[in-house]
Amino acid sequence: MNDSNHFRLVPGPDDTLRETLPNGITVLARHNPESLSVVVSGYLTAGSLFDPLDRLGLAHFTALSLMRGTRQHDFQAIYDTLESAGASLGYAASVHHVGFGGRALAEDLPLLLSLLAETLRSPVFPAEEIERLRAQLLTGLAIRDQDTADRAEMAFEEIIFPGHPYGRPTDGTQESVANITRDEIEDFHRRCYGPNGMVIVVVGAVEEKEALDMVASALGDWNHPAQATPPPLPELRPLENPVRRHIFLPGKVQTDLIMGCLGPGRTSPDYLAASLGNDILGQFGMMGRIGEVVREQEGLAYDASASLNGWIAGGSWEISAGVHPEHLERAIDLILKEVRRFIAEPVTPEELADSQASYIGRLPLTLESNAGVAHALLKLERFQLGLDYYRKYPGMVKSVTPEQILEVARRYLQPEHFAIVSAGPALE
């Protein structure tokens, strides 16, 4: 892709509106004249870090309850309205935020924003709908609790993030969700939902200023002076000693393995070098070095890869594999061997060049749709990266050296601080 096309796709400060309304809502908008539709996405600061320890899943339950009925419309009327317009709207909770997303034809943007405002500001949490939703959530949790990959991941996060919201399941537990009351959902909404810290992105077939005016019309008069502020997060510390845990799940024939440690947060200066390093270690091509050795050469795993998860207060650097139980210990040994090689010597210039080309080449592909641009703009705002971030991105990627990757890898990927968690049939 030539530079002119590349920069036509990549959002920047010259073609993206960013303005904060008097009530604290930050609006970002970008016009796409080639589209007939519009995407709306955003978040509020009402995530699971507000969950009491005996009510894990409360933020998630509350977010999913917003569409179940308001003072103006019941559950069926909300969905009939969306369906008749060919539009969509939904919510989901994460640790820091409650996210929302929707899409509609350009002429139906006022309708979509009206429903967004209505479900955010005046949900009534009908008892019958709450119980129906609870049953659905409990079914999902029961399925999750029998999934080897989910159980391994949950235990891994609990170990490396002890006493921290990052180590708790956002969707809660069967026990906690069963005990959440309608009054607690209503109280959570009353305390935590408000415009302060809210971000909304509008991308598509609407001019930026028009989109801003529509958002202001729908949400500009929303105020909540007593809105709860997110609690401070405890400091993350590496494990003092390695931890090994196995979760026995009867009737399983595959073992899922998660191993790793703390990683850099998304705003850390280490993040980009760590991300490129992770690509080489366990993503690029056939899942990088890990996939090549564990899966392709040795045939020990159905899948094997590495991932870097960078959040606001920190992150995780982890390696996962699905293996036959009899190959588990051999897979662990091979992965540790590859990690030790990764922190012993720099990646090759060829490996880094391939990874850099992949990163730069796929950026425009992620921005071809309205949803992709909206997601990118939300990321800029969430991590305060700046509207010029994507314009600078190719140069930033090209500037990373093998020596920087080695330095960052040595800082984080220390096997003596690893958690190694497996879930599946009993160990031999």
Instruction: Verify that 150 and 250 share a domain, yes or no.
Output: no
Q: Is residue 229 part of a domain?
A: no
Instruction: Verify that 203 and 251 share a domain, yes or no.
Output: no
Measured between alpha carbons, how far apart are the two ends of the chain, in Å?
A: 53
Residue 8 is predicted with a pLDDT of 58
Instruction: Verify that 32 and 117 share a domain, yes or no.
Output: yes
Domain that holds residue 324: 243-424
Q: Is residue 234 part of a domain?
A: no
Please check whether residue 177 is in contact with residue 131, taking contact to mean a CB–CB distance below 8 angstroms: no
Residue after which a domain boundary falls, among 166, 184, 219? 219
Q: Per the structure block, which two tokens stand in for 401?
A: 């050296």
CA distance 305 to 281: 8
Instruction: Verify that 167 and 204 share a domain, yes or no.
Output: yes
Task: Select from 154, 151, 155 the least CA-distant residue to 143.
Answer: 151
Please check whether residue 34 is in contact with residue 28, taking contact to mean a CB–CB distance below 8 angstroms: no
Instruction: Verify that 284 and 372 share a domain, yes or no.
Output: yes
pTM of the model as a whole = 0.94
Instruction: Verify that 280 and 202 share a domain, yes or no.
Output: no
Tally of domains within the chain: 2
Q: Is residue 236 part of a domain?
A: no
Averaged pLDDT in 10-residue chunks for the chain of 428 residues: 53 96 98 97 98 98 99 97 98 98 98 98 98 99 98 98 97 98 98 98 98 98 97 94 97 97 97 98 85 84 92 96 95 96 98 97 94 97 97 97 98 96 94
Burial of 71 (0-12, 13-18, 19+ CB in 10 A): exposed
Q: Is residue 286 part of a domain?
A: yes
Residue 306 CA to its chain's centroid (Å): 16
* 100 conformational bin, left if phi > 0, alpha if psi -120 to 50, beta if neither: beta
Q: Is residue 22 part of a domain?
A: yes
Instruction: Verify that 207 and 274 share a domain, yes or no.
Output: no
Residue 285 is predicted with a pLDDT of 73
| Phi, psi (rounded to 5 degrees) for 202 | -125, 120
Q: Is residue 283 part of a domain?
A: yes
CA distance 173 to 137: 10
Instruction: Verify that 178 and 288 share a domain, yes or no.
Output: no
Task: Select from 78, 99, 77 the least CA-distant residue to 88.
Answer: 78
User: Residue 346 is part of a domain; what is its CATH number?
Assistant: 3.30.830.10
Q: Is residue 233 part of a domain?
A: no
Instruction: Verify that 154 and 272 share a domain, yes or no.
Output: no
Q: Is residue 18 part of a domain?
A: yes
CA distance 425 to 223: 53
Instruction: Verify that 186 and 98 share a domain, yes or no.
Output: yes
